[in-house]
């Protein structure tokens, strides 16, 4: 009979503890919703035919090296000079370097003048040429209160057998953003990356014959 008050008190204590825990959980901040963006593109099929089928050099496109803030999936912005930040609640579908590599591959395939294109993922097929690069810029910057997307890539075309550098060049493009919302910024990223990729294709085709 003497145990009943203790049992009742224990039950009350447990109920109070559960209520306190539930209350504490309810005031924790909710996880920030995240929108995931693919890199939009406007690449279209262009005239091809520099190399005949079967004799064009095979090219392997290596994922660019990227460091710092642009190495991950966050969409980087510089609201002030030398001040790095990211767009809240928004990420790329893949790391920036992979998005750029895939867009370069798309550009080569759309162009058609070097039809034998592979990447550094999956089965390593034979390659005559290697395209390596470093992604220097992949962010938006504010100029006079308006965002501008900057994409800059340092590229090297190499002989795959000897690792001899055939040609090197830096490609850069700036594209103004129509507005300030994240989807508008993403569209500008797509246009800037397309321009860099297409310039790179023209350059690589020009130097491919000198391997």
Considering the domain boundaries, does residue 176 fall inside one? yes
In a domain, 5, yes or no: no
Distance CA 61, CA 199 (A): 15
Specify the range with the lowest mean pLDDT, choosing from 9-18, 23-32, 54-63, 139-148. Answer: 9-18
Is 8 within a domain?
no
Q: Is residue 1 part of a domain?
A: no
Find out whether 120 and 65 touch, Cβ atoms under 8 Å.
Answer: no
* Number of other CB atoms surrounding residue 76 within 10 Å: 20
CATH of the domain at 96: 3.40.50.10610
- pLDDT of 198: 96
pLDDT at position 5 over 90: no
What does the pLDDT look like over 113-146, one tens digit per residue?
998 999 998 777 899 999 999 999 999 999 999 9
Q: For the segment 80-114, what is each residue's pLDDT rounded down to a tens digit? A: 988 999 999 999 999 999 999 999 999 999 999 99
In a domain, 15, yes or no: no
Question: Hey, which residues does 76 pair with through a beta bridge?
Answer: 86
The domain total for the chain is 1
What are all long-range contacts of 123-126, with beta carbons under 8 Å and residues at least 24 apart? 124/60, 125/58, 125/60, 126/58
158/153 Cα distance (integer angstroms): 16
Helix, strand, coil percentages in the chain from 3-state DSSP, rounded to 5: 35, 30, 35
Residue 115 in tokens:
């039809």
**Residue 91, domain member (yes or no):** yes
In order of 73, 101, 103, 107, 200, the CA distances from 95 in angstroms are 4, 10, 13, 19, 20
pLDDT at 27 over 70: no
Q: Is the pLDDT of residue 167 over 70?
A: yes
pLDDT score recorded for residue 19: 47
180 CB-near residues (< 8 Å, 6+ apart): 146, 147
At 15, the pLDDT band (50, 70, 90 cuts) reads very low
Q: Mean pLDDT, the chain, as a whole number? A: 85
Q: Has residue 180 been placed in a domain? A: yes
Place of tokens 């190495």: 71
Q: Are 88 and 79 in contact (CB under 8 A)?
A: no
- pTM, to two decimals: 0.81
Full residue range of the structural domain in which residue 202 is found: 35-208
Say if 2 falls within a structural domain: no
């Amino acid at each position: 009979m003497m145990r009943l008050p203790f049992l009742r008190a224990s039950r009350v204590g447990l109920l109070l503890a559960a209520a306190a825990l539930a209350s504490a959980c309810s005031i924790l901040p909710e996880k920030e919703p995240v929108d995931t963006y693919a890199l939009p593109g406007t690449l279209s099929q262009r005239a091809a035919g520099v190399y005949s089928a079967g004799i064009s050099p095979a090219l392997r496109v290596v994922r660019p090296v990227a460091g710092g803030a642009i190495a991950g999936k966050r969409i980087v912005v510089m609201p002030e000079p030398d001040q790095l930040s990211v767009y809240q609640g928004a990420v790329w579908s893949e790391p920036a370097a992979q998005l750029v590599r895939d867009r370069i591959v798309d550009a080569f395939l759309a162009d058609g003048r070097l039809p034998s294109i592979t990447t550094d993922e999956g089965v390593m097929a034979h390659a005559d040429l290697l395209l390596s690069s470093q992604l220097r810029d992949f962010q938006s910057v504010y100029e006079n209160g308006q965002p501008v997307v900057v994409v800059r890539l340092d590229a090297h075309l190499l002989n795959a057998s000897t690792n001899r550098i055939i040609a090197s060049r830096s490609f850069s493009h700036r594209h103004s953003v129509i507005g300030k919302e994240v989807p508008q910024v993403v569209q500008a990223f797509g246009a800037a990356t397309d321009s860099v990729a297409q310039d790179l294709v023209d350059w690589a085709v020009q130097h491919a014959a000198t391997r």
